[in-house]
Amino acid sequence: MRHNHTLLLHRSEVAQLLDFDTSLKVVEDAFRLYAQGKGLKSGLMNVDSVDGEFHIKAGGLVLGRRLFALKVNGGFFHNPERFSMPSIQGVIVLCDGENGYPLAVMDSSEITMKRTGAAAAVAAKHLARHGSSVLTICGCGVQGRIQVQAMSRVLPIRNIFLFDVDKAKAESLAKEMSKHLGIRTEVSASLETCVRASDVCVTCTPAHQFYLRKEDVAPGTFIAAMGADSPDKQELDPELLITNKVVVDILEQCEEVGELHHALGKGMRREDVHAELGEIIAGQKMGRTSEEEIIIFDATGTALQDVAAAAAAYENAMLYGAGKAFNFFQ
């Protein structure tokens, strides 16, 4: 297939072109396709900078045609107070996987936010107990907000606890979610109390030392650990992984930068990981087998999610005539 232009898509355009329900569908499909061998080998790199870091993720999928995406995200968590800028920002380059032509260059913020929320929701759909209704969110920033919305899409959530070291941020999100979702949402000062009362717990913070302990988690809980995406980030007590069922997004990535990275060498082996999420979605391995087991989803964020979401945004842009076309090679 030949091309003669590349689309430039800015943040507001991507937001309009990619809704959350579409993100849910394409992310679930991406994990399934990967498990079925319809993905390109993924690449991952982390580069430290002053007061921040850069994450580089690359990979591809066969989505009718072969597509490749490269994402470069900067994570600078002092940005909001120092520069009135988002903590995470970057770009995605979507390419034709048959000839290498750059199909689109787009803002990554909306895609990163939605595909991360979608991954946790897809995992909960397959791994949480049926009827799970009580949710704890640890971390009340941008990702905390999308996680509340994501979990309420796939589970009958009736009660939400919010926990953040910045209580004002938690209170603001509680007020917003109570109003927009009509779900009882409250701020908790005790992480142990709210997690033990919950069916599902999502951790989405930039913590560098674990704060969710093994003894805080009740039997039957599903935990989506979304924050650890570089070697020095950690949210969970390694004992939680060592003693319970662990499902990962991509095994090789989690070995390098996920919660699994911290559990290996402390009594856990690579072979102890139960499955990759795609294997469960594709029916290649079992998910939950009892109401009592604790299941942990270790998510590092994958290029699979990025290419699937970027492809959906691109296809809609072509359909509706969005974006600015330009030619790199003139």
- pLDDT, one tens digit per residue, over 28-55 is 999 999 999 999 888 999 899 999 999 9
What residue segments make up the domains of the chain, in order of their start? 6-112+304-326, 126-300
DSSP-derived letter for residue 174 is H
pTM of the model: 0.94
Model confidence pLDDT, tens digit, residues 271-288: 999 999 999 999 999 999
What φ, ψ does residue 74 adopt, rounded to 5°? -95, 130
270 secondary structure, DSSP code: G
- Please provide the distance, in angstroms rounded to a whole number, between the alpha carbons at the two ends of the chain: 19
CA R_g for the chain: 19
| Domain 6-112+304-326 is found in CATH 3.30.1780.10 | yes
How many angstroms separate the CA atoms of 73 and 142, rounded? Answer: 15
Distance CA 145, CA 88 (A): 15
In the chain, which residue ranges form alpha helices assigned H by DSSP? 11-17, 20-35, 79-83, 109-127, 142-154, 167-181, 191-196, 238-242, 251-257, 259-263, 277-281, 303-320
Closest CA to 237 of 192, 291, 278: 192
Superfamily per CATH, domain 126-300: NAD(P)-binding Rossmann-like Domain (3.40.50.720)
pLDDT tens-digit map of 56-112:
999 999 998 999 999 999 999 899 889 999 889 999 999 999 999 999 999 999 999
By 3-state DSSP, what share of the chain in percent is helix, strand and coil, each rounded to 5? Answer: 40, 30, 35
Per cent of the chain over pLDDT 70 is: 99
Q: 326: closest CA among 104, 106, 97, 108? A: 104
| Cα separations in angstroms, 112 against 52, 65, 91, 184 | 17, 23, 10, 27
Same fold, 6-112+304-326 and 126-300: no
Q: What is the pLDDT of residue 329?
A: 83
Query: Under 8 Å CB-to-CB from 188, ≥6 apart: which residues?
Result: 136, 161, 162, 163, 194
Q: Are 136 and 195 in contact (CB under 8 A)?
A: yes
Q: Which residues pair with 324 in a beta bridge?
A: 8
In which order are the strands placed within the sheet that holds 295-298?
Answer: 184-187, 159-163, 134-138, 200-203, 222-225, 295-298, 245-248, 275-276
Share of the chain above pLDDT 90, in %: 91
Query: Do 306 and 92 touch, CB atoms closer than 8 A?
Result: yes
pLDDT confidence of residue 265:
82
- Give every CB contact of residue 318 below 8 A, 6+ residues apart in sequence: 7
Q: Which two tokens stand for residue 272?
A: 């102890």
